[in-house]
Structure 1
Amino acid sequence: MPSIRKSLLQLVFSGSFMKRWNDKLRPMELFEVDKQAHKMMIAWLLYMENCQGLGEEERLSLAEQLVEGGLFDYFFRLIITDIKPPVFYQIKANPDHYRRLSEWVLAELTPRIQTLGEEFIGRMRSYLAVPDPQDPAGRILHAAHIYASRYEFHLIKGLNPWDEELDEIENDFTTILNAHSDLLGVPELMNETSALARFAKLCGRLRFQRRWSQTPRIPETSVLGHLFIVAAFAYLFSLEIGACRGRRLNNFFTGLFHDLPELLTRDIISPVKRSVAGIADIIREYEEKELENRVFARLSAGGHYEIAERLKYFLGYGLEQELGNTVRQNGETALVSFEDLQEWYNDDRFDPRDGELVKLCDNLAAFIEAYTALRNGITSDQLQQSLWRIKSAYQKDSYKSGVHIGSLLADFD
């Protein structure tokens, strides 16, 4: 399979420019990539609630449909841009119109996603051609989509009291979520005081935290949007290196939640963490203490012990290397090399996770943020230094975690 190239990575990043609710007065700009991150976090919570009692194959199949359905929806959205929901729903209600729109979208996307292989494109073609919002994955994604949109709506509602559309929009959100109330977790999300709702709202707050907060950039990415970009990169590279299904999914969700501790510490840049001996350990110790008190303990007390434990695995909680390569055997988590992960543990039964690949994707997302800002005319020593630092880090080790990162970064010269 050909290697993933610059154009696909930039397509994923392009949601950082795409504004939402841009016909309403807003307290801040709301971007598509932030909404997608929040949507997939909510989808994961609902998945964890609704996969209890399923066999391992069914659990993995449902999770795969969720992740790929979320990516397909995002790619589709990037191409059709900002069509107002009532217009889009009218198009979707006409099978012929929706088929023609989907065919055009796929034709536009194919040159950029063809490196992912015909199987991936075929799955996307099937997903777009015959959408089934009544299957379990489709219903979870739809409920998550509405919940994340409703969260944004409540941010702008008070600023638009004269807008005659607001009551209708809110009623639609409530009606749709009530129609999904048979899904485990949806009633709790609607209960603002429940542990699940409090955690979902906590995740949504990551859109308020700007990355590179002291450096002007275009676009100004948030921590929340960055998480989705890293998750998408991690999943796409996992496809490229032939990762098993469970490993691909773990990589996606690790990317999606890896900066969750920044809710508690804000975005502390790497040079600060490295500037004083031992400061990184102090920060990590504080993060784990606060995560335990404000996230894990509250979820467990609310009856969501499995969610708390899974988050710990994604975050490398309690391990010396939070973004290390991990496997699980006999209930124990162990750190392994990429070579061993690829050769011996690339099997769903080991619950494998490429922490080092997620870290690579984290650096790659930061590189694209800096590169894009410079291309958009922002002159900054910090941005230039970041590009140089990331490139230098991979000059000696240009093949990392199965990715030809050196040649990929050379695409941006």
Structure 2
Amino acid sequence: MSAIRKSLLQLMFSGSYMRRWNDKLRPVELYEIDKQAHKMIVAWMLTLLNSGGYSAPERLKLQQEVIEKGLFDYFYRLVTTDIKPPVFYRICENGKDYAELTEWVLKELRPALGETDEGFRERLAAYHRNRDRSGLADRILAAAHHYASGWEYNIIKPFNRFDEENQATADSFIARLERTDIRGVGDLIQGHAFFSDSPTAFGRFAKLCGQLRFQIRWADTPRVPETSVLGHMFLVAGYAYLLSLTLGACRARCVNNFFAGLFHDLPELLTRDIITPVKRSVNQLPGLIRDYELQELERRVFGPLLEGGHAEPVARLRYYLGLEGEGVASEFDDTLRDVSGLVRRLPSFEELHAQGNDDARDAKDGTLLKVCDNLAAFIEAHTSVRTGISSPNLQEAIARIRAEFRHRSLGGLSLGTIMADFD
């Protein structure tokens, strides 16, 4: 089994440093990892909307293609961070220049990527060497990209009226979105308004999710970088997908684990991020928080989506968040569907790995998601301490996660080996 190494975990995290629109006046810092999270949330919705007539295997294939191509684009962007988009687009227009840039990017990525599974690195290279972006997954990702970037730019647009590029930049996102044939894009932008006063259910959900970039994790703890809830969700999703590949998970588990990771902290849109020591300080607090989260999810998320005709996304969100099934109490429970289609909780990762590694079982690795959640928290804390910004909360988190992972494995994946990379 191939190993997940420190270099790949840090590569995924490095988008937390990458400032966006850093040549514009910004009321708040905007980071690449947050934009990627917002993009993939929108891509998930668009994928569901545009694959209604697909068979279950075809839909899973499309979802995995969207996930992988989204990650491939993210990794490419991490390496080319210093190239402004207009310059990058000019490079892309010249086949020879783009090919040379791509080979350099692939060379830079090779040491960090290692061998996640037998084909991930090869699929990434093939994707970037092939400039055809006409497939459905490519068009979905392009629409999600233009929406997430345009959403960001509409935040900073009022502060850049003096900039002669201001209106043209804002208009460019609308123009690209209006040209797409992807169903659901009109509901996102509603004409020319990213922030409509009366959004559609789809547009409102996308807007709410985007606001998670303003919620900073560990809010009372100084850290560098200050990661957001939205960025953390993408980090957990990426880790969950990569670890799923490493474990040899079936396509359904890979897809479910990514999207469950991408939405696992969605309730914090309603409660804010509460650090573990605070949650543990009062015995009844976790239960009270959970009850409030469920009430607010129904009122502010599920209800409006259902009224807008989006029953399928609500059903998937309920499954990802651990709100469906016999004995299921958390998004971190291991679940699958039995032969009758009912969701059932399994007692351990090992049982899920043995019984649920089949696309038809629609399995979700809650234990793996919890590991990835802790792994992301460890990276956040460890990076800050190594940068020179420390606190008791950060030190406690590092020590707790090290101790928990030191002698632990999932399948053939040694978490202790991952921790040893950071010694």
Task: Output the TM-score relative to the length of structure 2.
Answer: 0.95
Residues 379-388 or 261-270, more deviating: 379-388
Tell me by how many angstroms 1:85 deviates: 1.4
Deviation string for 1:4-47 (max 9, x for gaps)? 11111001101100110000000111110000000000000100
- Are 1:52 and 2:62 matched, yes or no? no
User: Which residue number in structure 2 is paired with residue 374 of structure 1?
Assistant: 385
Question: In percent, how many aligned pairs have the same letter?
Answer: 54
Q: Of the candidates 311, 318, 333, which is equivalent to residue 324 of structure 1?
A: 333
Measured on the aligned residues, the alpha-carbon RMSD in Å equals 1.2
1:200-253 Cα offsets, whole Å, 9 max, x none, are 000000000000111111101000111111100000000000000110010000
> Which amino acid in structure 1 is aligned with residue 125 of structure 2?
R
Q: Which moved more, 1:15-24 or 1:403-412?
A: 403-412
Distance 1:363 1:402 in 2: 19
> Displacement, 1:339?
1.4
Corresponding residue of 2:300:
294
The 1:258/1:402 distance shift into structure 2, 3 A limit, reads farther
1:312 and 2:287 are equivalent in the alignment? no
- 1:108-187 matches, within 5 Å, as 108-180=108-180, 182-187=181-186
Once the two structures are TM-superposed, the CA of residue 393 in structure 1 deviates from its matched residue by 2.2
Q: In the alignment, does 2:416 pair up with 1:406?
A: yes
Partner Cα separation in structure 2 for residue 21 and residue 116 of structure 1: 32
- Offset, 1:401: 5.7
1:279 & 1:99 partners in 2: Cα distance? 55
Corresponding residue number in structure 1 for 2:365: 354
Give the distance between the partners of 1:402 and 1:235, measured in 2 at CA: 16
Aligned partner of 1:19 in structure 2 is 19
Q: C-alpha distance in 2, partners of 1:399/1:122?
A: 27
Task: Please state if 1:341 is matched with 2:359.
Answer: no
Distance in 2 (CA, whole Å) between partners of 1:278 and 1:379 is 30
Give the Cα separation in 2 of the matches to 1:259 and 1:327. 21
The 8 Å contact of residues 20 and 82 in structure 1, kept in 2 or not, is answered as no
Q: Report Cα offsets for 1:379-401 as digits up to 9, x if no partner.
A: 31221111111112234x51136
CA deviation profile, 1:270-294 (whole Å, cap 9, x unmatched): 2222222222111111101110111
CA contact (8 A) 1:357 1:401 kept: no
Give 1:252's aligned residue.
258
Partners of 1:221 and 1:390 in 2: CA distance = 18
Structure 1: stretches of 5+ with no match in the other structure = none
Deviation above 4 Å: which 4+ runs of structure 1? none
C-alpha distance in structure 1 between counterparts of 2:132 and 2:307, whole Å? 35
TM-score by length of 1: 0.97
Q: 1: distance between equivalents of 2:332 and 2:168?
A: 45
Distance in 1 of aligned mates of 2:261 and 2:11: 18
Q: 1:218 aligns with which of 224, 243, 246?
A: 224
Distance 1:75 1:30 in 2: 18
Give deviations 1:105-164, integer Å, cap 9, x for gaps.
111111111221441111111110113222100000000000000010011001111111
